[in-house]
Amino acid sequence: MARVLMKGCEAIAEAAVRAGCRFFAGYPITPQNEIPEYFARRMPEVGGVFVQGESEVASVNMVYGAASAGTRSMTSSSSPGISLKSEGISYAAAARVPMVYANISRGGPGVGAIQPAQQDYFQATKASGNGGFEMLVLAPSTVQEAVDLTYAAFDYADRDQNPVLILADGVIGTMMEPVELPPMKSDEEIAAIRAGKAAWACTGHKLDYANRSWIQPGQWDTKKMQQENEKAAAMYATWEQDVQVEEYHTQDAEVVIAAYGISGRIAKSVVDICRSAGKKVGLIRPITVHPFPYAAFDRINYDVCKAVLDVEMSIPAQMVQDVRAGVKGRCPIETCLCSGGNIMSREAILNTVDAILAK
């Protein structure tokens, strides 16, 4: 398949279109503006619908409505905009409505900087909304990976009847790289996907509410709610099969770097530099950040590993809590951090690695 040069945000949008997404509602915010801009041009070409909502809150609820009717639907935003969408995302999770959304994250807290950051990790993996629901959270480190993960996200969402999050940072969203695009789903395939939702979708027929939704307006049956929570927990437990992680030169590593997204990409280049200089450094890069690839940390050779180095564009560190849970005290954990829109540098990682090796 021919490769094309695309910006990350536009590539995410095109991957969604090719996956059969036919409804998008969103609202402008840097650095994800190219996603709704691209959908505004592209949706009319494929018979889809684009809406610029009057707000993030309105937009996510439009997606909730379109997805409830069986249409593959998506929204996107950046950091504070995602916070505004959290109620609608919670409702989609409660009603078991599949949707995909992307966070092209920026600095914070609050409105923060418009430059890239990784300060939304807790929000993405631990508390994307109220009620304790969970989601698959996919974190690309290249534009190609953003394409592939977005394309797959719609299948995950439909399989589980649950929201799926693409967690990308502003570097991935705004950089341009050559990508191979996945095949466009045909009208017949899209119709078949929608027909497969006929038993529960709001398409003008009587619904089986007894088996449909966690939330039934006006009914507050606590036993029923607990049963639905238990069913959801059982579903979440199956996601171990979906965990993706890159383990790079970890077998003999004296320092193992843990990093995701753009930090993971930068860290991988540091590993190559170190290896060329004879330094035994490796990388664990979570691609699925929820569920987290804890098993990868069990495969570290702790007889030779001096430390695991958590690298994040977040101060204070956030992913480090999952790293600690994976390491289980078997070696020290160090950090190399930046935040607020500053991009992680190779030099900073190299200097930290050298300091660890010198101990």
- Domain positions in the chain are 3-241, 246-358
* Cβ(116)–Cβ(171) below 8 Å: yes
Of the pLDDT bands very low, low, confident and very high (cuts 50, 70, 90), residue 204 is confident
What is the pLDDT at residue 256?
98
Residue 216 confidence class, pLDDT cut points 50, 70, 90: low
CA distance readout (Å), 179 to 11, 54, 105, 169, 217: 8, 33, 21, 18, 45
Dist. CA 32–CA 90, nearest whole Å: 22
In this prediction, residue 319 has a pLDDT band, given cuts at 50, 70 and 90, of very high
- The pLDDT of residue 219: 58
Q: Residue 217 — very low, low, confident or very high, per pLDDT cuts 50/70/90?
A: low
The Cα 81–Cα 167 span in angstroms is 13
- Say yes or no: do domains 3-241 and 246-358 share a fold: yes
Q: Classify domain 3-241 at the CATH superfamily level.
A: Thiamin diphosphate (ThDP)-binding fold, Pyr/PP domains (3.40.50.970)
Evaluate if residue 268 carries a pLDDT over 90. Answer: yes
pLDDT at 223: 85
Please state which of the ranges 2-6, 116-120, 179-183, 344-348 shows the lowest mean pLDDT: 2-6
On whether the CB atoms of residues 315 and 348 are closer than 8 A, the answer is no
Instruction: Indicate the angle between helix axes 56-68 and 80-94, nearest 10 degrees.
Output: 30
Query: How many angstroms separate the CA atoms of 33 and 10, rounded?
Result: 9
Nearest one of 328, 339, 331, 336 to 354, comparing CA atoms = 336
Percent of the chain with pLDDT over 90: 89
Name beta bridge partners: 137: 165, 290
* Cis, peptide link before residue 291, omega less than 30° from 0: yes
Could you tell me which residues are beta bridge partners of residue 75? 101
Query: Residue 294 CB: number of other CB atoms within 10 A?
Result: 17
Q: What pLDDT band is residue 207 in, cutting at 50, 70 and 90? A: low
Candidates 1.10.760.10, 3.40.50.920, 1.10.1660.10, 3.30.1490.190; correct CATH number of 246-358?
A: 3.40.50.920
